[in-house]
Amino acid sequence: MRRLLLALPFALLPLAAVQAHEHDHDHDSLGAHEHGVARLNAALDGNVLELELESPAMNLAGFEHAASSHADKAKVAAVRAELESPLALFALPEEAGCKVASQELESPLFGADDHHDEHAKGHENEHSEVHAHYRIECSAPDALKSLDLAGLFKRFPATEKIQVQLIGPNGQQGAELSKSNATLSF
């Protein structure tokens, strides 16, 4: 089971790599960056749920360049505000009593306060990603029966698919969620 799961992301690579190649000839990509597709790693350990979301900036903001116009800056600020409210994006059962213990957002899109900024300067035309890492503490983790991403799909409609790797009490599982299939059971 575990070996099959580890092979899962690679099974999706050939198509993504072809699309990435057509999209950007001079960018040597393994297909990890595909518009419309985000990745979510989720791990429940005791009463702590760790969530790590990686998405092309295009899925969230609609563009990938550093924001310079007022409209772009406003859009980036709005995206950041949405990402700073993870409990609205990842619906968790109320009875689980979950609260956000810590969160980290990282992206060249967010500008100068980002420690990847130096790297981004030399690669203006590269795809920019948004990384969000959340640590959520739940007082009744046994009530965490599912993870519902409907809120995320609703707020970021350009996100068509989310490839989820989940490690929970029943071991590891992988799934590809979409707007019409936005829930994964633990």
Q: Locate the domains of the chain by residue range.
A: 38-185
pLDDT at residue 92, as a whole number: 92
- For residue 112, the model assigns a pLDDT of 53
Provide the pLDDT for residue 65.
Answer: 85
**pLDDT (0 to 100) of residue 32:** 56
What the block records as the tokens of 98 is 């979950």
Reading the chain (186 residues) residue by residue, the pLDDT tens digits are 444 444 444 444 444 443 333 333 333 334 456 889 999 999 999 999 999 999 999 999 999 888 889 999 999 999 999 999 999 999 999 999 999 999 999 999 887 544 444 444 444 446 799 999 999 999 999 999 889 999 999 999 999 999 999 998 889 999 999 999 999 988
Instruction: Please give the pLDDT value at position 186.
Output: 84
Per-residue pLDDT, 33: 63
Give the integer Cα–Cα distance in Å for 108 and 111.
5
Whole-model pTM: value is 0.76
**What is the distance between the alpha carbons of residues 67 and 7, in angstroms, rounded to a whole number?**
37
Distance CA 44, CA 183 (A): 16
What HEC string does 93-134 produce? CHHHCEEEEEEEEECHHHCCCCCCHHHHHCCCCCCCEEEEEE
> First vs last Cα of the chain: how many Å apart?
16
Q: At residue 54, what are phi and psi to the nearest 5 degrees?
A: -125, 130
Query: Is 168 in contact with 44 (CB distance < 8 Å)?
Result: yes
